[in-house]
Structure 1
Amino acid sequence: MLAGGCLWANGGSDSSGDSDQLSVILIIPGNLGDKSFFDSANSGMEMIKKELGAKTKVIEAGTDSTMWEPALYDAIEGNWDIIITGSSMSELLNKVAPDFPEQRFINFDTTISETPANVYAMFYATNDVGFLAGTVAAAITGSNLPLAKKDDAIIGFLGGMDIPGINDFLVGYIEGALNVNPNVKVLVSYAGDFGDPAKGKELTLVQYKAGADVIYNVAGGTGLGLLDAAKAVDAYAIGVDSDQAMLFSETDPEKAEHIVTSTVKQMGQALLRAVRLHQEGKLPYGTYAVQGIVEGGVGLAKNKYYNSIMTSELKAIVDEAEAKIVNGEITVSSAFGMSSEQINALRESVSVK
């Protein structure tokens, strides 16, 4: 799905005029090592270098937002063909990009649909994939799985911050869970930080103790603490952005065995596809592309752990929900179309009284 006016790519020559090699730089408003969102974007850069032969560079701009604007201007002055950034830097990018009409930008994850003429923007339908996570969680709670608590239907959610981008996952998660079990309860915690695993572990240990069978990680690096907690108390977790079970399959297989699935943004493939289109002169700058389940932009990681933990009956519940989203039978609400009062009401409706 595309929106906006188009300015087509003019090929892949180096803007400095010194080389025909395509040059691409990624600015991350955070740090690598989260085994989630930013690492997924970095994997795209590795594919761009390997498959397209591009000169690449990754800048970790950190969590201090005052450093993001200088990092962006440094990249512009560096004469890169394409500058990739986004997420928390989306507003800054949209402010700066019009001042440099010859520079090409890719916004790798944004919720802002207004797109400058020299920016190609991508948005991932996190509400849809959150719905699938909620379906998995509600199918597990009360089931006969070995780590499921059979008395109360309680699941959990850990968000990095109480912001629309995180609550979009939450809205889908709650709706997906209610679609399976209208009596399910959802414990919700926000860490207020995307880089504090200790806080993530602390919050989720409380949720597990309160009866949650499975907790959904939507907290970036903070969520690594959730995965630690799941291993520590022998409980289920759902990962986010990357296939987090497979990321730990060799280094910490016991932890991986507690991660039922992950809601995956195919960010690496999306970036590779976008840069390849730029190289071919076909990338429609000035547009906003939605990457949903139908487009293959988001989905569940149905890996060996998922297939081992989930019974055929539980997998059938998930497959049915996914099919109904694809064929339009289920339309998932989005936090981006809801007021804070509506989101609060939804949270309250599934809270443990």
Structure 2
Amino acid sequence: MRDFDRREFIKTTGALGTVGLAGLAGCTGGPGGDDDEETTTEEPGTETESGDDSDDSDETTTEADSEDSETTNVGMVYATGGLGDGSFNDQAQEGIQQAVEDFDVEYEDAEPDEVAQFGNYQQQFASSTDPDYDLVSCIGFLQADALSETAQNYPEQNFQIVDSVVEADNVGSYVFREHEGSYLVGILAGQLTSMSFSAGAGSTASDSTNVGFVGGVEGSLIGKFEAGFTAGVKAVNEDIDVQSTYVGDFNDPSGGKEAALSMYSSGSDVVYHAAGNTGTGVFQAAQEEGRFAIGVDRDQSVTKSNYADVILASMVKRVDTAVYNAVEATVNGNFEGGALTTLGLPEDGVACVYGDQLGSEIPEDVKTAVTDARQGIIDGDISVPDDPSNA
């Protein structure tokens, strides 16, 4: 399995096939283009140097067919919010792009606008014969209900789902211990709200110990982020106030901004979001109020660099690793349908990554507290709750 902590991603243009997924409305091609010719095999029947010899032509056809059969085709169905979120979906795309770089893989993207479209996209990938998709990767827990039905209707098709579990023999489920990584950024937020701290465009208020959490859609998954964050904050000081709210959408920056502004005006020094593109509004509010924010899924001080002066850190979730590992297993012929893979701190599935601009400004004793907490979780000395009611 690929260890993405030890290697910087190389963004590639991908290797999309010349034939798209017919009838897939709203499906955008992956980053194909000028580099396609490097991976495109010769069309069957192309003349060879031998001229018009029929036997040579047959050999060319057979060779091309053999090469085509070795290509692994993947269909990517992203979560609502689409690509360009600087977070969850973009992280998934990093995984498939790295697989394209490392293996003979071609892929197509689908970006649903709403939950009701998931089943349609899943089914169109599964029913396609040109190309015949070896794996359909479904990104996000909201796809689970649709995939439960789709997987049953297409038992010969292999599927991956990220962030949920679908119990079917042809579905590989990949989940994360988000509460573990969230605990670490909770330690960070708890430490900083307890002191006078200024960096970039933000500072803590001297008269309060108060932090906040903004979630996207309420449920057991995002509840894990909230639970871990709250537990980490309370581990620093039980008396720190933790405000929490859910916007009800992963693609509502204005809602995220309104929620965060309310928290900052109520004394929060730091707001952590687990809300996809809705979190962009949290960053906007932090800048306006001169406070701090914590990103999610990717290093958002890089992917949302306009807000790097208020992003203390991000709770990175290696969705890229999940996608890459599933594609690698498919390429190698050992994809396990029905299997559950869980990625936490020991597997480098989640991590606290300090902000590109502000990381160097964070006091070393605060970083030490975060490092100690990480090791305590890995060693089993710290048990992190995954339900907000237990935090």
Normalised-by-shorter TM-score class: 0.7 to 0.9
- Give the match for residue 350 of structure 1: none
- Give the match for residue 196 of structure 1: 252
Aligned length: 317
Opposite residue 133 of structure 2, the aligned amino acid is W
- Give the match for residue 161 of structure 2: 107
The 8 Å contact of residues 142 and 151 in structure 1, kept in 2 or not, is answered as: no
Question: Any idea what the Cα deviations from partners look like across 1:1-41, whole Å, max 9, x if unmatched?
Answer: xxxxxxxxxxxxxxx99632110110013122211111111
Instruction: Select 1:24's aligned residue among 52, 74, 86.
Output: 74
The 8 Å contact of residues 311 and 355 in structure 2, kept in 1 or not, is answered as: no
Opposite residue 53 of structure 1, the aligned amino acid is D
Instruction: Decide whether aligned partners of structure 1 residues 238 and 303 sit closer, same or farther in structure 2, where only a CA change above 3 A counts.
Output: closer
Instruction: Select 2:318's aligned residue among 266, 273, 291.
Output: 266
User: What's the RMSD between the two structures over aligned residues?
Assistant: 1.8
Instruction: From the CA coordinates, give the structure whose radius of gyration is larger.
Output: 2
Q: CA deviation at 1:103?
A: 1.0
The alignment status of 1:315 with 2:367, answered yes or no, reads yes
Instruction: Select 2:100's aligned residue among 20, 30, 49.
Output: 49
Q: CA deviation at 1:287?
A: 0.7
The alignment status of 1:175 with 2:231, answered yes or no, reads yes
The separation in 1 between residues aligned to 2:227 and 2:121, in whole angstroms, is 34
The 8 Å contact of residues 308 and 355 in structure 2, kept in 1 or not, is answered as: no
- Give the match for residue 113 of structure 2: 62
Instruction: Select 1:231's aligned residue among 262, 281, 287.
Output: 287
The alignment status of 1:120 with 2:172, answered yes or no, reads yes
Pairwise mapping of residues 1-353 of structure 1 onto structure 2 (< 5 A)?
Answer: 19-30=69-80, 31-63=82-114, 65-78=115-128, 79-87=132-140, 88-110=142-164, 112=165, 115-146=167-198, 147-249=203-305, 252=306, 255-335=307-387, 342=389
The separation in 1 between residues aligned to 2:127 and 2:221, in whole angstroms, is 31
The separation in 2 between residues aligned to 1:315 and 1:163, in whole angstroms, is 31
Opposite residue 326 of structure 2, the aligned amino acid is A
Opposite residue 99 of structure 1, the aligned amino acid is N
Q: Secondary structure at the match of 1:320?
A: helix
The 8 Å contact of residues 145 and 309 in structure 1, kept in 2 or not, is answered as: no
Q: CA deviation at 1:171?
A: 0.8
Q: CA deviation at 1:306?
A: 4.8
Question: Any idea what the Cα deviations from partners look like across 1:65-122, whole Å, max 9, x if unmatched?
Answer: 2222111111111121110004210222123213322211111221x3x531111110
The 8 Å contact of residues 158 and 216 in structure 1, kept in 2 or not, is answered as: yes
Q: CA deviation at 1:303?
A: 4.8
- Structure 1: runs of 5+ lacking an equivalent: 1-15, 347-353
- Flag the structure with more relative contact order, 1 or 2, with Cα contacts below 8 A and sequence separation at least 6: 1
The separation in 1 between residues aligned to 2:136 and 2:218, in whole angstroms, is 29
Opposite residue 107 of structure 1, the aligned amino acid is I
Question: Any idea what the Cα deviations from partners look like across 1:245-268, whole Å, max 9, x if unmatched?
Answer: 01133xx2xx10210000011111
